[in-house]
Chains A and B, each alone.
Chain A
Amino acid sequence: MDRFQYLLVLGASALVTLPLEFAFDARVWRRPRRLARAVLPSFVVFVVWDIWATTHGTWDFSEQYTIGVELPGGLAIEELLFFLLIPVCTLLTLESARNILSGRVRWLRRDD
């Protein structure tokens, strides 16, 4: 089970934030094209940085806690999921905050 640790951390992050999509009507997962356009630029920049940093030895990934699929330069494949899922968690939080602060969450309103 140890080698699934990184995947489990990412899965837990996605799972914990999933209710925001519905409870506060965040509409992040349900706007896949907009989501792709939001995530793609940072995905490209940060994966390139990640490959560079792994190649140059700034950081490395535990063989014990990753599934062992490596990309060029020794990058753990989990990193690709990180740069997709953590942005989604953030956008779910942002859109929830927007809906709450602007009074768009019906069940939080006292009137009507």
Chain B
Amino acid sequence: MPPVYPTLAVVAAVAVLGLERWYFRSGIFRSRAYWLSMIIVFAFMVPVDGWLTKLSAPIVIYDDDHTSSHRVVWDILTEEFVYAFALLTLVVLCWDRAAQR
């Protein structure tokens, strides 16, 4: 069995891709503003999520039996970026959908 956190993070990201493809159909992935803001948000995620999960004094503590144990930058688990992509893209899709009503 693969560890649960990276598995669920990928499932969430694929689910959001599926929602865009078959439900929202917003074309958000062709938007320059979306990608620019994602680059900026992911850059700021390093200090914020890094502070929350740094191994020296963690605020959020992971059981490495449940994670990939692969920490890309400042002890942030790689799957955190996949998780963030799913969460924040869903927010953006719902924000744009809410404008249409």
A101 to B33 Cα, complex, angstroms: 7
Q: B76 → chain A, closest Cβ, in Å?
A: 13
Name the prevailing secondary structure of the B interface residues: helix
Of A5, A37, A59, which is within 8 A of B61 by CB? Answer: A59
Q: Are B88 and A59 in contact (CB under 8 A)?
A: no
**Could you give, for residues 29-44 of chain A, a 1 whenever the CB lies within 8 Å of some chain B CB and a 0 otherwise?**
0000011011111100
User: Is the pair B98, A38 in contact by a Cβ cutoff of 8 Å?
Assistant: yes
CB of B66 within 8 A of chain A?
Answer: yes
- Give the bracket for the number of chain B residues in contact with chain A: 20 to 34
* CB <8 Å contact, A38 and B48: no
Check A66–B59 contact: CB distance below 8 A: yes
Contact with A along B22-49 (1 / 0, CB 8 A): 0000000000111011001100100010
A58 touches B92 (CB 8 A): no
- Chain A binding site: helix, strand, loop or mixed by DSSP? helix
A60 to B4: give the CA distance in the assembly, Å: 15
Chain B neighbourhood of A55, CB < 8 A: none
Contacts of A58 in B (CB 8 A): 4-5, 62-63, 66-67
Q: How far is the CB of A47 from chain B (nearest CB, A)?
A: 11
